[in-house]
Amino acid sequence: MADATLTSKGQITIPVQVRNALGIEAGDRVEFVELSEGQFVIMAATKSIRDLEGLFRGRRSKPVSVEEMNAAISQRASGR
């Protein structure tokens, strides 16, 4: 398990094994996504949303509603 220490300025150094696993380098952005109170996930934010265009084209025959998307996000976040 990797760990880091918070400085008085609120900064941390991300351990090398975590940086490698996320595929991030100096200057890349990361996002902290809250799963539940006091529990966060760190995600690489190095890609533009435009990079995703066409990635899933043809994988689903009917459009997905906002309600279906929210249900899927909730289900995944809760670990079910």
pLDDT in tens, 30-48: 989 898 899 999 988 876 6
Residues 6+ apart with CB under 8 A from 19: 25
Q: Which domains does the chain have, with CATH numbers?
A: 1-49+60-80 (2.10.260)
Helices and strands per DSSP (H, E), number in the chain? 2, 2
- What are the mean pLDDT values of the chain's consecutive 10-residue runs (80 residues total)? 92 93 89 90 79 67 85 82
CB atoms within 10 A of CB 2: 10
| pTM reported for the whole predicted model | 0.53
